[in-house]
Amino acid sequence: DAGVIQSPRHEVTEMGQEVTLRCKPISGHNSLFWYRQTMMRGLELLIYFNNNVPIDDSGMPEDRFSAKMPNASFSTLKIQPSEPRDSAVYFCASSSLRDRATEAFFGQGTRLTVV
Amino acid sequence: KQEVTQIPAALSVPEGENLVLNCSFTDSAIYNLQWFRQDPGKGLTSLLLIQSSQREQTSGRLNASLDKSSGRSTLYIAASQPGDSATYLCAVINAGNMLTFGGGTRLMVKP
């Protein structure tokens, strides 16, 4: 497996624009996580899904953020409208709820810059 | 709410030294605990997963221990090398499979 795949790797956008981040989890994994990392706040869990169902979205900062998981192999995180304070690295991770002996794996992240 | 703390926040050691990184958590009702490494500008790389029924796990020069009752885990690195320089993060995993991270320990191993 190629691991967790995120796209794009880098995104520069103007304030007010819509941004969509994409994630393909490891095949067979049924838990998917979206994290945001900044120097000030470290790693923050935004939302996670089990079996494509959102379980905890309490970390989603505002209504400007939304996440979907239409099927087991794809998820999106959307920010609309984007603001400069959204600039961060966004990570997607996946793991298995069925096999708790398996590790969680992270993608390489999307570095978002909102100007 | 689960809180995870890592001490120290930063550590600098000479090459060859053995070292211990600490991770503590407030809610002992965890399922698993996982240690990660993050290099600057990169993603997180999994190092070790310890299940709640286990006391320790070993991988090469790394040994991680878990004491659920006291809410502690340690990552022991033997014979440290400059290539070990990175940020080390621990994450506790609850029954719902959610990972909660500590703030990390930034390690520098000097040649």
State pLDDT tens for residues B49-92.
999 889 999 999 999 999 999 999 999 999 999 999 999 999 99
CB B14 within 8 A of CB B81: no
CB B94 within 8 A of CB B31: yes
Give the separation between CA B43 and CA B90, rounded to whole angstroms: 14
Q: What is the mean pLDDT of chain A?
A: 94
Q: In this complex, is the C-beta atom of B103 within 8 Å of any C-beta atom belonging to chain A?
A: yes
Q: In this complex, is the C-beta atom of B101 within 8 Å of any C-beta atom belonging to chain A?
A: yes
Q: How would residue A61 be classed by pLDDT, with cut points 50, 70 and 90?
A: confident
How many CB pairs below 8 A link A and B? 53
The b/e string for A50-86 (b: 16+ C-beta within 10 A; e otherwise) is: beeeeeeeeebeeeebebebeebeebebebeebeeeb
First-residue to last-residue Cα distance in chain B: 41
CB B36 within 8 A of CB B86: no
**Cross-chain residue pair A108–B42, CB shorter than 8 Å:** yes
Query: What is the structure's pLDDT at B16?
Result: 97
Query: What is the structure's pLDDT at A26?
Result: 96
% pLDDT > 70, chain A:
99
Query: What is the structure's pLDDT at A9?
Result: 97
Query: What is the structure's pLDDT at A109?
Result: 97
The b/e string for B21-50 (b: 16+ C-beta within 10 A; e otherwise) is: bebbbeeeebebbbbbbbeeeebbebbbbb
Which residue in the set A95, A101, A109 is minimally distant from B97, CB to CB?
A95
State which residue of chain A sits closest to B49, comparing Cα positions: A103
Bridge partners, residue A6, by sequence: A23
The b/e string for B65-86 (b: 16+ C-beta within 10 A; e otherwise) is: bbebeebebbbebeebeeebbb
Query: What is the structure's pLDDT at A51?
Result: 94
Query: What is the structure's pLDDT at B1?
Result: 87
For residue A108, the chain B residues in CB contact (below 8 A) are 42-43
pLDDT for A99 beyond 90: no
Convert the pLDDT of each residue in A5-44 to its tens digit.
999 999 999 999 999 999 999 999 999 999 999 989 899 9
Q: What is the mean pLDDT of residues A85-89?
A: 97
Give the separation between CA B108 and CA A7, rounded to whole angstroms: 31
Convert the pLDDT of each residue in B98-111 to its tens digit.
999 999 999 999 99
Query: What is the structure's pLDDT at A88?
Result: 97
Convert the pLDDT of each residue in B18-45 to its tens digit.
999 999 999 988 889 999 999 998 999 9
**Cross-chain residue pair B46–A104, CB shorter than 8 Å:** yes
